[in-house]
Structure 1
Amino acid sequence: MKGRRMSAPDAPRPPTMPAAPERNSRADQVYEQLKRDVAEFRLVPGDRFTEHAVSERLGVSRTPVRQALTRLQQEGHVEVMYRSGWRVLPFDFDKFEQLYDLRTVLETTAAHRLCAGDPERAHPGSRALLDSLMAPWLLPPAQRSSDAAQVSQWDEAFHCTLVQAAGNAEMARVHRDVTERIRIIRRLDFTRHERIDATYDEHAKILGALQARRGAQAAMLLRAHISASQTEVRKITLHQIHMARQP
């Protein structure tokens, strides 16, 4: 990954995701670390390990380790093996594809709602939310960021803000849940420079269609944008798993 290309230190920044409750407990810290280990392929599908090994490696007792692993089990990342510890589960691509399908439905529906009638009268604040996305993403190439982790966070904020602007709180809540569940593989889309540039270009086109209140076009662009990301993360995930298993 190349260094940052951000030439203007005061360049606009996309809005951030709504702040989640701060996690301070030891179990939360262990959970976050183990989830990173899975996401970054330090623990690959099929790997087996024990609670004792994790507690030794992280320097914590087994209680927070067990609590963290229970959360990861509920999310479908690991499973408990009777009398033989834990195992990292294979990536369930069928589940991820279903979540991407749901994400597409939510975001394209939001685009149609934003372009129908008078969105500001129906959903006060919608125009301000959309306007907040304009300057950060409509940047010349020289001012774009190439920081993969940062662009990944901004991309999440872009899509969540778009759904939030549609004014349906339940739809926004479900979308945030989907976003959390696909984050473990979605972030891989930004490990390649060309995908970062594509994200800027595609976001700009989506915003242009929304600004012109062309709902069908915005929905079509969103569908293509999400599909391209979905295809890329699957390809990268399979490659990363293969490389992690090499001696």
Structure 2
Amino acid sequence: MASNKTYLFKQSINRMLTQIEELPEGQYTMANDMELTRQLNISRTTVRACIEHLINNGLVKREGSHKIVLRQPEDTDFFDIENKASTKDEQIEKYFMSLIHHGELLPGDRFSELSLAKNSGCTTISVREFLIKFSNNGLIKKIPRGRWQMVEFDEAFAKELIDFREMLEMNALNDLLRAPKDDVIWSELADLLRAHQEVRADMENRYMEFPDLDKAFHFKLRDKKPNRFINQFYDIVSFICHYHYQWDKNGELERFTVACNEHIAILENLISNDHASAVLAMKQHLESAKKTLMGCVHGLEV
């Protein structure tokens, strides 16, 4: 489903389609994977996923190591990533988080404001403001000449984050449980439950859709009490818990499956008005999240 593709994937597809449109007359072969990796500043994994998408949509075919263009792109082949309701802050955040989630930025990696601006379609001012905001959490740091570096977070930071998250999310759950039964939140939670169930039914193929569900789930829980300071905290949570670059990618399917099942248990208990079970399910989910996060910090035990 197109809506479940990441911003980086959609943007990379659009850039490949533009490259196809701009091929010289009589040339019907795309650049090789290594060259696309360099041109688009994405990983080979992302390149392969994008090429597979183009093949499935009848735009190209593989002949050995070559990618032969079968037809010119149509307007419907492009993803709509402009999202006029989205601010530049949201646009750079989507792009930056996608880089981290796909392993394009790793601990110790350096990157420039200019390259982020160019590849995300944002201004350097928007990029700089976004990076300054996230530098406050200690996970990226400024280095000379408009450059930044990814850094690790330590045990103390992780434990403080866990304690604060537990307090906020249990408080949000209790607020939600007090919502009237005719509140629109309950139909929205039912929609979210169905989205989780659809992904779980084909988890092996769709597990990469879970981070977006994860973020939607935790943001929806606090929907009854919006708070700008809590919003800032959840920006950090998204950065670390949903997109953290130190996670072993080989364990993602298992972790996402566990978390998806825990979300479903919470949502089912909320919708069925079983308050006690909803609270217990949330406590279980937060305990699992604690073990996962602490495991990111040099294999620490909780």
TM bucket (normalised to shorter chain) is 0.5 to 0.7
Report whether the alignment pairs 1:44 with 2:103: no
Partner of 1:179: 234
- Counterpart AA for 1:184: F
Consecutive unaligned residues in structure 2, runs of 5 or more: 1-44, 50-83
Alignment correspondent of 1:245:
none
Q: Distance in 2 between matches of 1:57 and 1:141?
A: 34
Structure 2: how far apart are the matches of 1:200 and 1:94?
27
Q: Structure 1 residue aligned with 2:291, among 228, 231, 241?
A: 231
* 2:249 counterpart of 1:192: no
- CA distance, structure 2, for counterparts of residue 233 and residue 20 of structure 1: 33
Contact (CA 8 Å) 2:210, 2:260: kept in 1 or not? no
The 3-state SS of whatever aligns with 1:138 is: helix
Give the corresponding residue for 1:95. 157
- State whether residues 80 and 86 of structure 1, in contact with CA within 8 Å, keep that contact through their aligned partners in structure 2: yes
Deviations 1:160-199 (A, max 9, x none): 11221xx2233xx444332211222212578521122212
Distance verdict in 2 for CA 1:94–1:36, change over 3 Å: farther
1:210 maps to which residue?
A: 270
SS in 2 for 1:196: helix
Structure 2 CA distance for partners of 1:115 and 1:235, relative to 1, 3 Å: same
Indicate how the Cα distance of structure 1 residues 135 and 71 shifts in structure 2: closer, same or farther if over 3 A, else same.
closer
Aligned to 1:168: 225
Q: 1:43 to 1:68 in 2, by over 3 A?
A: farther
Counterpart secondary structure, 1:120: coil
Render the CA deviation track for 1:50-70: whole Å, top value 9, x for unaligned: 96xx7589879xx75866654
- 1:207 offset after TM fit, Å? 1.8
Alignment of 1:137 with 2:196, yes or no, is yes
Separation of aligned partners in 2, 1:38 and 1:193: 17
Mark the CA change 1:178 to 1:69 in structure 2 (over 3 Å): closer, same or farther. Answer: closer
Q: Which moved more, 1:137-146 or 1:124-133?
A: 137-146
Whole-Å separation in 1 of the counterparts to 2:271 and 2:87: 35
Change (3 A) 1:97 1:140: same
SS in 1 for 2:160: helix
Query: For 1:45-102, what per-residue CA distance to the aligned partner results, in whole angstroms no more than 9, with x for missing partners?
Result: 5x6x696xx7589879xx758666544433423444689x865443144334323333
Match of 1:112 in 2: 174
2:234 is equivalent to residue 155 of structure 1: no
Determine the C-alpha separation between the residues in 1 that align with 2:270 and 2:200: 22
Pair 1:124–1:91, CA change in 2 (3 A): same
Pick which of 155-164 and 175-184 moved more: 175-184
Identity %: 19
| TM-score after normalising by structure 2 | 0.52
Local SS of the residue matching 1:130: helix
3-state SS, counterpart of residue 112 of structure 1: helix
Residue by residue, what CA displacement relative to the aligned partner does 1:85-133 show, whole Å, maximum 9, x if unpaired?
Answer: 86544314433432333332232223333334xx326x83232222222
Pair 1:21-2:86 in alignment: yes
Give the number of equivalent residue pairs: 208
Q: Is the 8 A contact 1:138 1:204 kept in 2?
A: yes
Q: Which has the higher contact order (CA 8 A, sep 6+)?
A: 1
RMSD: 4.3
Displacement, 1:210? 1.4
Residues 89 and 130 in structure 2, CA contact (< 8 A), matched pair in contact too: no
Query: What code does the residue aligned with 1:104 have?
Result: E
Deviation, 1:157, is 0.4
